[in-house]
Structure 1
């Protein structure tokens, strides 16, 4: 089946970035799925399976963030034996990057080149404002436009009151959209985010309704769904990241449920200025903190503390303040890990360099 690249988001900027790879045997394509180094790629002439070229493996060994991700645009080469390889990944405009598990201070790109990143939170069972704030930081860090998407809106009685309460977990100015795959509430507005050539990425916990939402927007059962467990917690239905084209143009990037998300303070791509997702997600607190009397205010018992003053008059909840502090501590620890890893890497390079010189001498 052929695919219009423009409907997948291909434009003049990606075309310009591809020019250095535009040679005989090459073609551009967008990665729809990654399975242990073999990628499903959508191209203008159809869907193909491509492995990683040797140069790509070398780049990944140096930086795990160079690993192709769902949503990436890539240069694909066709060989004489009808084999395909990914020769290069084009610069990313946005990337959802989370901290990998383990001791290594490394990030993992779980989706790339989204125009909008929707934090998906289910209204049934009880939504978690703290999780929304964490995922909002991740969405802002990506460089895309964040959206708070509240699913299963048909299951709650006082929808307006609940929306107003959860809106406080999102930065001022963030669109909050309540949707229901059952009644169709909010779906027309949601489809605007996947209009011709636009990309919407979904992130959220298991059971939030991401896969059901994808099926509803596409109009077919393209993603598997499962019921919640007896305790109300979500099941991991989607075990892989996938790019799903939408009839009429546009794509949705669906991701597996995220139970724990480590913030990784780095955004790859062609932007010279990384986005501080945590500061963006808590922009209201950052503004308050800037108004405190002391620049090193801890927002506890210091005089003329604008943050505590906001708590006292009800403009800021204690819960949001405590979560801000928690995520700041986590970010500080992560930055320390990255710094230590960088210093260790430089030290090993220096040792290797000295050994090489001694060998030749």
Structure 2
């Protein structure tokens, strides 16, 4: 066994070790990357390739039940010792979820067991407050702490105004400003990174996530590309990967994702739009629809300019999207329950010859 590797450095804390059975022959591991059904994992024995067992595959009913980067799993070693079999997945303490395309709705786990989500947005043409609101809402839902990271400040000639705009939508969220043109342009991130902590970098393609991670790693580990002619970055990262930093702590790089669908959880929306939730609580009627009732605090704030129309519309859009998914999930669950009941009744019916 290679004693130079300690899985505790990779975030294997008491939260996860308490889930282990004392007499289990299985060994804990963390998923570093995943590609085409194979997983690169790290254990006290070192780095290995792994795949899920047949039993695991048979019991999984959704893509979100399979291991993702950042997950802790329990593995069995193959007789050769060159690879491992993933037998089970330990419960996640947090998960950044993206709604996968297609029907039925499926969760796509972007990164698991993360402590902080760096929500990266460039201060050039990538700047989009509505998308940032969506990022923040989903980050709160993940169970991790969101931090806004504004990149490429060297390309911004109105930084103060941009910071004011971001502050108006990022309630209770730290906002960091970085640049890749200065040697110490990433130092703002360091106070948030420490031993055993996992940080995921989320953002559109080309915002500079890989550049920041290279600076933290102290070497050009990840490929980066410059700007295209339209002032937007080129996509470079093609898969998710977890890296252990020399100074302690871990970072997860993710492919650029411009759009995220909401999932059925109101918590993130309530935290992200705390200003609107507070205003709504001041309405004269508890069931106010904010469309024309007397004493509506929302309509008053829109008239006075206290609440911007764009922000109100963004809130309504995310709420509607979330409610639609919740209703659809309830319908599918009820339909599934009904089909099971019918199946039971059919099995109990006497067979007539």
TM-score normalised to structure 2 length: 0.92
Bigger relative contact order (CA 8 A; separation at least 6): 1
| Aligned counterparts of 1:44 and 1:191: Cα–Cα separation in 2 | 27
Question: How far does residue 72 in structure 1 lie from its aligned partner after superposition?
Answer: 0.5
Show structure 2 runs of 5+ residues with no match: none
Change beyond 3 A, Cα 1:297–1:156: same
- Retained in 2: the 8 A contact 1:120–1:202? yes
1:107 and 2:107 equivalent? yes
What pairs up with 1:1-361 in 2 under 5 angstroms? Answer: 2-17=4-19, 19-20=20-21, 23-24=24-25, 26-60=26-60, 62-82=61-81, 83-170=83-170, 172-184=171-183, 187-265=186-264, 276-358=267-349
| Aligned counterparts of 2:139 and 2:274: Cα–Cα separation in 1 | 14
Counterpart secondary structure, 1:263: coil
| Aligned counterparts of 1:346 and 1:318: Cα–Cα separation in 2 | 42
Question: How far does residue 157 in structure 1 lie from its aligned partner after superposition?
Answer: 2.3
Give CA deviations for 1:224-257 in whole Å, capped at 9, x if unaligned: 2223332334433212111111112111111111
- Retained in 2: the 8 A contact 1:21–1:75? no
Counterpart secondary structure, 1:262: coil
Question: How far does residue 184 in structure 1 lie from its aligned partner after superposition?
Answer: 4.6
- Retained in 2: the 8 A contact 1:137–1:277? yes
Question: How far does residue 261 in structure 1 lie from its aligned partner after superposition?
Answer: 0.9
| Aligned counterparts of 2:316 and 2:17: Cα–Cα separation in 1 | 43
Question: How far does residue 200 in structure 1 lie from its aligned partner after superposition?
Answer: 0.7
| Aligned counterparts of 1:86 and 1:222: Cα–Cα separation in 2 | 27
| Aligned counterparts of 2:127 and 2:50: Cα–Cα separation in 1 | 40
| Aligned counterparts of 1:241 and 1:320: Cα–Cα separation in 2 | 32
- Retained in 2: the 8 A contact 1:99–1:261? yes
Show structure 1 runs of 5+ residues with no match: 267-274
| Aligned counterparts of 1:8 and 1:359: Cα–Cα separation in 2 | 58
- Retained in 1: the 8 A contact 2:177–2:188? no
Give CA deviations for 1:130-176 in whole Å, capped at 9, x if unaligned: 00001111101101111111111122123222111111121x22111
| Aligned counterparts of 1:353 and 1:129: Cα–Cα separation in 2 | 51
| Aligned counterparts of 2:350 and 2:231: Cα–Cα separation in 1 | 64
Look up the match of 1:270.
Answer: none
Larger radius of gyration: 2
TM-score normalised to structure 1 length: 0.90
| Aligned counterparts of 2:140 and 2:23: Cα–Cα separation in 1 | 33
* RMSD between aligned residues: 2.0
| Aligned counterparts of 2:180 and 2:131: Cα–Cα separation in 1 | 22
